Structure 1
Amino acid sequence: MGLFSQKYCDICGDKIGLLGNKKLEDGNMCKNCGKKLSPWFNERRSSSQADIKEQLAYREENKKRVSAFHTTRSLGINTKILIDEDAGKIMVTSAKDLLEANPDVLDFTDVTGCLLDIDETKTEITREDKDGKQVSYLPRRYDYSFDFYIALDVNNPYFSQIRFKLNTFSVDGKPPRQYQEHKEMGDEICRVLNQLTQKVHDPVKKEEDPESIVETNTKKTPVLCPYCGGSATSPDSKYCEFCGGALGQ
Structure 2
Amino acid sequence: MEDIKRQLAYRAENEKKLAHFSPSITFDGSKKVYIDPLGERFIITGLSNWRSGNPDLIAFSQVLGVNTDIRENKEELFYEDSDGNEKSYKPPRYTCDYEFNVTIRVDSPWFDEIELELSDGNRPDSRYTDLYCEYERKMHELADILMRRDERYRVWDGDGMMNRVEFSSSQPKNPAPIPQTTGGTVWICPSCGAQNNGKFCANCGVVKPVTRSDCANCGWKPADGQSMPKFCPECGRPFQ
TM-score w.r.t. structure 1 length? 0.56
In 2, Cα distance between the equivalents of 1:209 and 1:126? Answer: 52
Tell me how far apart the structure 1 counterparts of residues 50 and 95 of structure 2 sit (CA, whole Å): 39
**Partners of 1:120 and 1:57 in 2: how far apart?**
43
**CA drift at 1:199:** 2.8
* Higher fraction of helix: 1
Equivalence for 1:139: 91
SS of the residue corresponding to residue 68 of structure 2 reads strand
Which residue of the other structure, out of 174, 177, 181, is the alignment partner of 2:130? 177
Supply the distance in 2 between the matched residues of 1:149 and 1:112 (Cα, whole angstroms).
17
User: Using the alignment, how far apart are the partners of 1:96 and 1:135 within structure 2?
Assistant: 45
Q: Tell me the secondary structure at the aligned position of residue 181 of structure 1.
A: helix
Q: What CA distance in whole angstroms lies between the structure 2 residues aligned with 1:209 and 1:167?
A: 32
C-alpha displacement at 1:68, in angstroms?
A: 1.5
Q: Superposition pairs for residues 185-196 of structure 1, below 5 Å?
A: 185-195=138-148
Retained in 1: the 8 A contact 2:60–2:147?
Answer: no
Return the letter of the residue paired with 2:76. Answer: E
Task: State the secondary structure of the residue aligned to 1:159.
Answer: coil
Amino acid of the structure 1 residue aligned with 2:138: M
Give the structure 2 partner of residue 75 of structure 1: 26
Q: Which residue of 2 aligns with 1:103?
A: 55
Paired residues, number: 161
- Distance change >3 Å, CA 132–CA 97, structure 1 → 2: closer
Q: 1:199 aligns with which of 156, 160, 165?
A: 165
1:200 Cα offset (Å): 4.2
Q: Partners of 1:193 and 1:171 in 2: how far apart?
A: 24
Kept in 2, the 8 Å contact 1:75–1:189? The answer is no
What secondary structure sits across from 1:68 in the alignment? coil
**1:77-121, Cα deviation, whole Å (9 max, x unpaired):** 243322223332222224343333111111111011112222322
Residue 109 of structure 2 aligns with which residue?
A: 157
Instruction: Work out the CA distance in 1 between the residues paired with 2:94 and 2:19.
Output: 50
Q: Tell me the secondary structure at the aligned position of residue 147 of structure 2.
A: helix
Larger Rg: 2
1:93 to 45, 59, 83: 45
> How many angstroms apart in 1 are the aligned matches of 2:20 and 2:131?
37
Residue 116 of structure 1 contacts residue 151 of structure 1 at CA under 8 Å; is this kept in 2?
yes
2:16 to 64, 81, 101: 64
Gaps of 5+ in 1: 1-48, 211-249
How far does residue 171 in structure 1 lie from its aligned partner after superposition?
1.2
Q: How does 1:217-232 map to 2 (within 5 A)?
A: none
- Identity between Structure 1 and Structure 2 (%): 29
The equivalent of 1:128 in structure 2 is 80
* Contact 1:63/1:99, CA 8 A, preserved across alignment: no
* Structure 2: unaligned runs, 5 residues or longer: 155-163, 176-190, 193-200, 207-240
Aligned residue identity for 1:77: D
C-alpha RMSD over aligned residues: 2.7
Given the superposition, is the C-alpha separation of residues 88 and 185 from structure 1 closer, same or farther in structure 2, using an over 3 Å criterion?
A: closer
Match of 2:179 in 1: none
